[in-house]
């Protein structure tokens, strides 16, 4: 039997990058996959088809994770379509980098809304079904930047550090209901989010990574498989860095 057979997972922001990698791994592990995207409809439909070909149920939903009402509506819809939600992976995220001197108020607010408020929205939305099932695993994607900060990313770092505090609180509140909540903090993963960085900066980053390479969406997805499955039944409130040893 596959590790996640019979389970249903919601992954936010899975039309590309890390979210897509997570959705694929979840399906390979036997989970039915409901996933969201914001605007990449074509990519989402291609992924939906590819996931179904792995022999699981899969459906793409256009839903803004930063919008409270949309998050509630999404989970309602997923429950109608799939019948249950066992795993939630809050992956949707954006960057709007700038030095603090030049950072606009709206760039701060938007990053907090999409990266942090979305985690609140989605976690609230799955609480009731998970409490009813007396079981659930919530995995929130933070970043090494949320652990150690980064010049030029004060808004992003604040949102990702906020995710860690939020997740530890949820783990404490809901542990007695057998709902676990953990954080995966990726390091440097090659996706569209990081593709804008110039080659020189990339080489500098690599020098700081003990494993001397950037990570892949699959590296992050593998950590999620562990935290989503019963293999981690006694693990909650933890921050798992998937960063080639960059921060230790």
In the complex, which residues of this chain contact ligand NAP (CB under 6 A)?
Answer: 12-19, 36-40, 64-66, 91-94, 114, 141, 143, 186, 188-189, 191-194
Of the pair 135, 148, the CB lying nearest ligand NAP is at 148
User: Do the beta carbons of residue 111 and residue 95 sit within 8 Å?
Assistant: yes
Of the pair 120, 133, the CB lying nearest ligand NAP is at 120
- Separation between Cα atoms, residue 117 and residue 115, nearest integer Å: 6
Of the pair 75, 114, the CB lying nearest ligand NAP is at 114
- Separation between Cα atoms, residue 211 and residue 218, nearest integer Å: 16
Taking the complex as a whole, how short is the minimal distance between the CB of residue 234 and ligand NAP, in angstroms?
26
Neighbour order of strands in the sheet with 239-242: 58-62, 32-37, 8-11, 87-90, 136-141, 179-186, 239-242
> C-alpha angle 247/167/130, rounded to 5°?
135
Of the pair 131, 247, the CB lying nearest ligand NAP is at 247
CA dihedral over 33, 236, 131, 135, signed as positive or negative: positive
- Separation between Cα atoms, residue 128 and residue 150, nearest integer Å: 36
- Separation between Cα atoms, residue 176 and residue 185, nearest integer Å: 25
Taking the complex as a whole, how short is the minimal distance between the CB of residue 245 and ligand NAP, in angstroms?
15
Of the pair 40, 77, the CB lying nearest ligand NAP is at 40
Query: What is the length of the chain?
Result: 248
Taking the complex as a whole, how short is the minimal distance between the CB of residue 72 and ligand NAP, in angstroms?
14
Q: Which runs of consecutive H residues, i.e. helices, occur in the chain?
A: 17-28, 41-52, 68-82, 105-112, 118-133, 144-148, 154-174, 192-195, 199-207, 217-228
CA dihedral over 145, 148, 153, 154, signed as positive or negative: positive
Of the pair 12, 123, the CB lying nearest ligand NAP is at 12
Taking the complex as a whole, how short is the minimal distance between the CB of residue 105 and ligand NAP, in angstroms?
19
Taking the complex as a whole, how short is the minimal distance between the CB of residue 47 and ligand NAP, in angstroms?
9
Q: Which two tokens stand for residue 188?
A: 């440097």
Q: Is 234 a catalytic residue?
A: no
Indicate which residues carry an active-site annotation: 156
């Amino acid at each position: 039997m596959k590790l996640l057979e019979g389970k249903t997972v919601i992954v936010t922001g899975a039309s590309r990058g890390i979210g897509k990698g997570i959705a694929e791994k979840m399906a390979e592990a036997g989970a039915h996959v409901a996933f969201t995207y914001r605007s990449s409809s074509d990519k989402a439909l291609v992924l939906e088809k590819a996931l179904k070909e792995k022999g699981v149920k899969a459906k793409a939903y256009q839903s803004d994770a930063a919008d409270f009402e949309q998050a509630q509506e999404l989970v309602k819809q997923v429950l109608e379509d799939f019948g249950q939600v066992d795993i939630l992976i809050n992956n949707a995220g954006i960057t709007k980098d700038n030095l603090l001197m030049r950072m606009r108020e709206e760039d701060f607010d938007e990053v907090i809304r999409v990266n942090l408020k979305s985690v609140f929205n989605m976690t609230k939305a799955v609480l009731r079904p998970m409490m009813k099932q007396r079981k659930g695993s919530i995995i929130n994607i933070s970043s090494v930047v949320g652990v150690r900060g980064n010049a030029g990313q004060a808004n992003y770092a604040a949102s990702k550090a906020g995710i860690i505090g939020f997740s530890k609180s949820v783990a404490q509140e809901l542990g007695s209901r057998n709902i676990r909540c953990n954080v995966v903090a990726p390091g440097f993963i090659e996706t569209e989010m990081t593709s804008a960085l110039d080659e020189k900066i990339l080489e500098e980053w690599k020098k700081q990574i003990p494993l001397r390479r950037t990570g892949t969406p699959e590296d992050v997805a593998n950590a999620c498989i562990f935290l989503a499955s019963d293999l981690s039944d006694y693990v909650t409130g933890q921050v798992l860095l998937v960063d080639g040893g960059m921060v230790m």
